[in-house]
């Protein structure tokens, strides 16, 4: 059996710690005990340290001088700021898709919400959540802009860690998604960009009104 490469081990540890963050085995705001993490995962402390530094660089973990590492506790303001940035970046990504890519590249986006009708059953809600994830992910990957892709994927990781499920209901967002799709079909880059930005800014405002954490 081939020996596991050091870099592969580091990647595996990073993914495992990421899963622990998503599952809330690590609690936002609390100190991260790297020695205990190494024991739980069954590795030396070196790959754990490497993974934690990566999370620091991504803004998920914060290093406090003389105190150690803490899983960042994101506030309402943090989430509002992140959604504001996402609105701008994903809007640009969609414009790039329409202006620079073949229509075939967006076929999954155009059919993402086919068959949905409010109100949704519990099972349909789960499928809608997955369609929502795919819709936004496909826009990003189709744009081909790696800077935008990296930022928003990191944002999505943060969102999954601190918010379970959709922030706004399908009753609010289904028509918004379909309006965006109609603008894409019409190849109206300005309208599509503005509608997608508005879509995310409405979520930002919803957080303000409902004080979602």
For residue range 48-103, list pLDDT tens digits in order. 999 999 999 988 899 999 899 999 888 888 889 989 999 999 999 999 999 999 88
Q: What is the pLDDT of residue 7?
A: 59
Does the pLDDT at position 150 exceed 90? Answer: no
Kindly list the structural domains of the chain, giving each domain's residue range(s) and its CATH number in brackets, ordered by start.
6-71 (1.10.10.10), 76-210 (1.20.120.530)
Enclosing H/E stretch for 9: helix 6-22
Q: Which residue has the higher pLDDT, 164 or 112?
A: 112
Q: Is the pTM of this model over 0.85?
A: no
The Cα–Cα gap between 16 and 164 comes to 19
pLDDT band at 6 (very low <50, low <70, confident <90, very high): low
Q: What is the pLDDT of residue 47?
A: 94
Q: What is the pLDDT of residue 122?
A: 93
pLDDT band at 127 (very low <50, low <70, confident <90, very high): very high
pLDDT band at 1 (very low <50, low <70, confident <90, very high): very low
Asked if 30 contacts 62 with a C-beta cutoff of 8 angstroms, the reply is no
The Cα–Cα gap between 20 and 130 comes to 21
The Cα–Cα gap between 192 and 91 comes to 8
């Amino acid at each position: 059996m081939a020996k596991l490469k050091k870099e592969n081990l580091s990647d595996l540890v990073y993914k495992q710690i990421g899963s622990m963050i998503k599952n809330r085995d690590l609690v936002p705001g609390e100190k991260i005990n790297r020695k205990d993490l190494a024991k739980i995962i069954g590795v030396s402390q070196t790959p754990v340290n490497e993974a934690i530094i990566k999370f620091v660089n991504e803004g998920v973990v914060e290093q406090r001088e003389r105190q150690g590492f803490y899983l960042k506790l994101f506030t309402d303001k943090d989430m509002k700021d992140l959604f504001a940035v996402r609105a701008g970046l994903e809007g640009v990504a969609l414009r790039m898709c329409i202006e620079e890519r073949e229509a075939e590249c967006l076929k999954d986006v155009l059919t993402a919400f086919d068959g949905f009708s409010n109100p949704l059953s519990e099972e349909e809600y789960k499928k809608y959540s997955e369609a929502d994830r795919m819709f936004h992910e496909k826009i990003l990957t189709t744009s081909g802009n790696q800077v935008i892709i990296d930022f928003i994927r990191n944002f999505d990781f943060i969102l999954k860690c601190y918010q379970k499920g959709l922030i706004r209901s399908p009753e609010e967002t289904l028509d918004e998604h379909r309006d965006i799709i109609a603008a894409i079909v019409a190849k109206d880059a300005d309208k599509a960009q503005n509608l997608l930005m508005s879509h995310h800014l409405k979520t930002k405002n919803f957080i303000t009104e409902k004080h979602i954490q």
